[in-house]
Amino acid sequence: MFEFEVPEVDYTQYSNRQLVAVPLVVLGLALAVLGGWYLVTGAPVSPSIDFTGGSELTVESSLSQAELRDNTFDEPVVSVQQVEGENRYIITFDSSNLEPIEETARSSDQMEFLGSGTTSPIFGQENQRLAVVGIGVAFLGMSLLVFAMFRSIVPSIAVVLSAFSDLVIPLAVMNLLGIKLSLGTVAALLMLIGYSVDSDILLNNHVLRRSGGFYESTYRAMRTGVTMTLTSMAAMAVMAISATIFGIELMASIGFVLVVGLAADLMNTYMLNVTLLRWYKYEGVKR
């Protein structure tokens, strides 16, 4: 498999406190953002209409996306997404009252009404419950699997803490950049759990189960793990940029969340996880 030339970081030049400080500070800031968001809005992350209910309108129009968003409808527009050609759009609203929205579209000389649909608040709440349960079950299953593999507290905590941070940091960035939580971004968060576990288990296996010194094993794991993560980041970045250019907001959000989460995973795996493993091996903490 092709591998990037990964520079060998001289971990001996840094104490455990120095290495662990950066990922813990970033995690703390992310938790502060989520906590502040919860106090202000009542939810740690702003939900999309997938979870709150709302309406979608499909139209064909000569107007630009900005004009459709800002100047056309009385109801607040959440997003305008271009689809299936240059002049076709899906317009999303917070309101579930379709009648005035459809009336505006039908009476306008600058757009042709093509179709509409709604997500009820009750159905949105059910989606929200299922999304939370899905993430919780995935995280719990990952935690149990990791503990069953290593049967030791510290390496297991290292993997679980890294995965937790990989989820929290993208959620905080989503709030800061105005990206709402949707079923698509929930799917991206579930993918991040898998990416995180892959890189962390790879590192733990090399350090704890293979021959060689701690730093030799760490560098060996980095050559494969960093290659995997950077390749995935490049693919997701291309997807996010392409989706943004073509106005596919959902795919752009998924790609962006994955890029941020994978960048966080690099930091957490090779700073936080490495620090905990080094402390575990050299301090002789076995339980």
**26 inside domain:** yes
| Predicted local distance difference test score (pLDDT) of residue 84 | 60
pLDDT value of position 33: 96
Q: What is the CATH number of the domain that holds 205?
A: 1.20.1640.10
**Count of the separate structural domains present in the chain:** 2
Q: What is the pLDDT of residue 232?
A: 93
Distance CA 207, CA 197 (A): 15
Residues 42 and 98 in one domain: no
Same domain membership, residue 169 and residue 77: no
Give pLDDT, residue 104.
Answer: 83
Q: Give the pLDDT score at 5.
A: 64
Rounded Cα distance between 154 and 204, Å, is 11
* Structural domain of 61: 54-119
Q: Tens-digit pLDDT profile for the chain (287 aa)? A: 444 566 677 888 999 999 999 999 999 999 999 999 999 988 888 888 777 777 888 888 888 777 787 767 877 787 787 776 667 888 888 776 778 888 888 888 888 888 887 766 555 567 677 777 888 888 888 888 888 887 888 888 888 999 999 999 999 999 999 888 888 898 899 899 888 888 999 999 898 888 778 899 999 999 999 999 999 999 999 999 998 887 778 889 999 999 999 999 999 999 999 999 999 887 654 44
DSSP-derived pairing of the beta strands 88-93 and 54-61: antiparallel
Q: Which residue type occupies 242?
A: S
Structure-token pair, residue 74? 């009385």
Residue 59 tokens read as: 């139209």
Q: Which amino acid is at 61?
A: S
- Residue where one domain finishes, among candidates 85, 101, 119: 119
Which helix (DSSP H) or strand (DSSP E) does residue 111 occupy? strand 111-119
Best CA proximity match to 150, nearest among 195, 211, 212, 201: 201
DSSP characters over 184-249: HHHHHHHHHHHHHHHHHHHHHHHHHHSSS-HHHHHHHHHHHHHHHHHHHHHHHHHHHHHHHHTT-H
Domain check: are 223 and 266 in the same one?
yes
- Same domain for 213 and 178, yes or no, is yes
